[in-house]
Structure formats: structure tokens, C-alpha cells
Amino acid sequence: MGGAGLVAHEHTDPLVRPGPAEQAGDESASHLSGGAGDQGQHGWVPLVRCSQPGPRPAAPGETSRSGTGGPWITPAECRSLGRVNRAELADFLRRGRARLEPSDVGLAAGARRRTPGLRREEVAQLAGMSVDYYTRLEQRRGPRPSRQMLTALARALRLTDDERDHLFHLVGEEPPRRGTASAHVRQGLLLVLDRLYDSPAQVVTDCGTVLAQNALAKALVGDALARPPRERNLTRRFFLDPAARDLFPPEDRPAHAFDHVASLRAVAAARPDDPEPAALAAELRAASPEFARLWEAHEVSLRRPSSKRFVHPVVGLLELDCEVLLSHEGRQQLIIHTARPGTDSYERLRLLQVVGLQDMAPSSP
């Protein structure tokens, strides 16, 4: 859904239909109308235009608002006074769904499909929402999505950063700031995650919040995204939920506790203006004597490649090598676990791949 650099034409462009503000009964502001979109050799390009005399001039060297393919429109104009542009939101979601194949998101193709792209129930599954909720969004009658739901949709549809921002604008929300830690996982990182079918892998923020998992990671450590947002943080769960430690042998748990605290302290020092790591540290210092004791030691260490042991209730003990790959800005980590060929852990991991998610994954992270 790229297309930066392509410019939507003025009102005479046949690809731009009357916007929702020009149709009776729509709740968008009167100065904004939406485009239908163009499916061409450059990929899908959503078109956005103003019904005012002309768009605001682009910055020097730019011909369009990145990620929209349309004339440069300010975020304030796109937000339309905080109202939801339901027609454009529905069109954007439908087109985003149509451009993806099941293999793009780690799903089996199944029976032959009459129409290209993902089914609505598949998008709902990937985003962690009900099928009815998602269907109503595509039918222009759904409720206003929360920021959490928008982030989940952006992840499910494999949106780029610019497309994610456009999705937020259509709902009247300010997109996440690019300079802070974000729950949005880049499209390329998700594609890599989906192709790691034989290795447990997940994307985690530097503060320890799980953002995405592949199927084998869910089978090994549980489905983190099925939990409430606060319970997706590995550090919080390790110190506040006793069941979260059952995933590791008892003799390994002190080392895990040390790693969690030392990593969070390093992140908090690196981002003094970001409230997230400081707030998490303050919460855990007050709630966990163990965390408070380790915090006072002032040890600092970032996540590094290592060897970890996991206790799975079905396949037993697995000793896995842990590789940590950083995103370009360093705020997100792709954590991959592999087993060495010829070992018992390798055979057990292959068994876990067969077992999958048949109601036997542990509930702890």
C-alpha cells in the first residue's frame, strides 16, 4: 500500500468520487472529502483531497503527503475535527484486506477463494477482535475504534508507518509519534516473523511488551496478545504473576530476574524523556521487593544472544538459542529461538510444531 510520490489530481480526476462530506447524512466535516483509490502499477494508492480551492503546498522537494498518494493535507484537516471518516475508513480497510494473501500473514490458504485477499474473519483473528466488530467497520456502521484497536488493525493489515498514520487520521486520532516507542510493528518485520514457521519468534519492545508472535511462539510461551494490554509486558508479568515463572526451571529464574531489571534500567537511562520505562520501574519497585532489591544494585545490561531453557507442559524441557535482532531505531526487538540439530530439544521443538496451538500452550509468557 505504498505509493509515496504519486499525486492525486484536482476535482476533475475521475478516480476521485464525491467525498463523504458531500454526501447526505455523513458525519465528516464539510471541508474534507475522500478519494476512491487507484490500483495501478505502483500498488494501491489511497487518494485524499480537499474541497477547498487547493491543497496546502508541499514542503520543498515533496510532491505529496507520504503514504497517502494525495496532495499534502495537514493532520488537522485529515482529522476532520476529530470525527470518523467512515466511508474512507471502510474503503481503506477493504483495500488493505484485498491486497494480502494468507501466506503473507502466516495463514494457510485453505480452499480456493472466490475473491482475492484475506477474509474478514482472518483480519479479525489477526487483530484480536470479533468478526462482527470488524464487519461493521467495513460497512461504515461500526463504533469509533480505540487507539489500541487501530494499532491492532495496522499490524493485522501489515501497514507501513505512513499507512498506519493515515488510518489514525481517518478516525480523527493523532498517530503515534515517530520519535517514541511505538506499538506499531513495521511491515517488513512482520513478514520476516511470518516466515519463521519452524522457530518460535516474537517482536518485543525494549521495555518488554510483546507486540507480535508467530504460531510457534504462541505454542511455546502462550498467546500474549490474547491478554489485556498491561499483561503483555514480560517484565511486569515475571515479577507480579507467579505463574509467569513456571515457564523456566527454578534454578534459571534468578538470572531471568536480573536480565529483566538490568535491561529496563538501561532503557530508562537511554530515554529520560519517555515516561513508559520510568513508570514501569516505579510500579514494580513499589509492588515487588525482589525487583526493588535488584533495581538498587544499579546493574545495566541489554538483551543479548544467549541460551535459554523452557519448560513446556507437553513436550518437556527445551534448551534453545536466543537471537535478538534490533529494528533500525532500536526500540523493537525480533527475538528468535532455535534448537541445535541433533539434540533432544530439536526433536521436541519439531514435536511442538506439530502439536501447535491445540489447547496445550502454557498461559505464562
Give the tens place of pLDDT for each residue, 7-24.
Answer: 333 333 333 333 333 333
Is pLDDT of 195 > 90? no
Better-predicted residue by pLDDT, 344 or 115: 344
Distance in angstroms (rounded) separating the CA atoms of residues 264 and 280? 9
- C-alpha–C-alpha distance, residues 316 and 312, integer Å: 5
Provide the mean pLDDT of the chain: 76
Per-residue pLDDT for 107 more than 90?
no
130-151 tens-digit pLDDT: 999 999 999 998 888 998 899 8
Is the pLDDT score of 221 beyond 90?
yes
| pLDDT-based confidence at residue 165 (cuts at 50, 70, 90) | confident
Dist CA 46 CA 7 (whole Å): 10
CA distances from 332 to 167, 178, 202, 344 (A): 21, 13, 10, 31
Q: Are 49 and 55 in contact (CB under 8 A)?
A: yes
Q: Per this entry, what is the length of the chain?
A: 365
Q: Copy the grid coordinates of residue 100.
A: 494480502
Which segments of the chain are extended strands (E)?
32-34, 38-40, 43-45, 48-50, 201-205, 210-213, 306-312, 316-326, 332-338
* pLDDT level of residue 33 (50, 70, 90 thresholds): very low
Q: Which amino acid, 246? A: D
Residue 250 and residue 314: Cα distance in Å, rounded? 18
Its pTM surpasses 0.75: no
pLDDT above 70: residue 315: yes
Could you give the CA distance from residue 33 to residue 17 in angstroms, rounded to a whole number?
9
Burial group, residue 76, by CB count within 10 angstroms (0-12, 13-18, 19+) = exposed
Please state which of the ranges 6-20, 209-223, 286-300 shows the lowest mean pLDDT.
Answer: 6-20
